[in-house]
Amino acid sequence: LAKTTQPISMDSYEGQEVNITCSHNNIATNDYITWYQQFPSQGPRFIIQGYKTKVTNEVASLFIPADRKSSTLSLPRVSLSDTAVYYCLVGDKASGTYKYIFGTGTRLKVLA
Amino acid sequence: DAGVTQSPTHLIKTRGQQVTLRCSPKSGHDTVSWYQQALGQGPQFIFQYYEEEERQRGNFPDRFSGHQFPNYSSELNVNALLLGDSALYLCASSTRMKSSGANVLTFGAGSRLTVL
């Protein structure tokens, strides 16, 4: 069962780059790494997903080293609206379908 | 294109009662997963439905049951409600996994259940 470990909380200032690292030592060969963002009283929202090396989209970058036992979500130039909880997920595949296990997430607070 | 819709958005029940929550998946999705999220905690996996059958289950008692209909929509039922069942219940839809590849969950806004 793949589990993830993230820092509980982080503070940053507007305009800075934020890097959130996730540890997933037991990741399986076919597992992808997915990051979600959640605002209070809302469902989590997909940010980015990757398998290895680097993935970039319009909102974030995801860095995955060769051993895939960790990953780093990078948010460039954060704003106050990026204040949220960020979850790193690794799929737990069983019976042909994935069961995603959420950790406690990282509470990011962006300060003015 | 409608995303995942859940109903009701809020509800209040008393201990011992039963509740049914409903979820319509995103268009094109055939798999529905349910999560319970207590205040300040991460979502906890309850179960997952595909082809109208429960495929995987988390560490939840039998008081939690579900159903998936032929149109892929789903219900979550909780019997004999306890105070500790108060939480945000999230429905997430996705497409069934292939032998390899990525899967992305699309979440609804949730149903906030308060048990008094």
CA–CA separation, A12 and B9 (whole Å): 33
**Cβ pair B105:A93 closer than 8 A:** no
Whether the per-residue pLDDT at A26 is higher than 90: the answer is no
Whether the per-residue pLDDT at B46 is higher than 90: the answer is yes
Q: How far is CA B20 from CA A73, A84, B75, in A?
A: 37, 29, 6
Q: Is A6 exposed, middle or buried (0-12, 13-18, 19+ CB in 10 A)?
A: buried
Comparison of pLDDT for A43 and B56, the residue scoring more: A43
Residue B77 DSSP code: E
pLDDT score of B84:
97
In chain B the first and final C-alpha atoms are separated, in Å, by 37
Instruction: Report yes or no: B80 at the A interface, CB cutoff 8 Å.
Output: no
Average pLDDT over residues B24-51: 93
Instruction: Report yes or no: A101 at the B interface, CB cutoff 8 Å.
Output: yes
| CA-angle at B47, arms to A107 and B45, nearest 5° | 15
Average pLDDT over residues A103-112: 93
**Summary mean pLDDT of chain B:** 92
Residues making up chain B, counted from first to last? 116
CB B89 within 8 A of CB B36: yes
**Cβ pair B103:A94 closer than 8 A:** no
**Cβ pair A97:B55 closer than 8 A:** yes
Whether the per-residue pLDDT at B100 is higher than 60: the answer is no
Residue for token digits 């503070």?
Answer: A11
Of A25-29, A39-43, B17-21, the range with the lowest mean pLDDT is A25-29
Q: How large a percentage of chain B has pLDDT more than 70?
A: 92
pLDDT score of A4:
87
Per-residue pLDDT of A4-15, as tens digits, reads 899 999 999 999
Instruction: Report yes or no: B109 at the A interface, CB cutoff 8 Å.
Output: yes
Per CB-CB distance under 8 Å, the chain B contacts of A41 are 88, 109-110, 112
Per CB-CB distance under 8 Å, the chain B contacts of A98 are 94, 97, 103
Q: How far is CA B4 from CA B47, B90, B110, in A?
A: 17, 10, 9
Per-residue pLDDT of A44-91, as tens digits, reads 999 999 988 999 999 999 999 999 999 999 999 999 999 999 999 887
pLDDT score of B98:
52
Residue A25 DSSP code: T
Q: Distance from A14 to chain B by nearest Cα, in Å?
A: 24
**Cβ pair B58:A105 closer than 8 A:** no
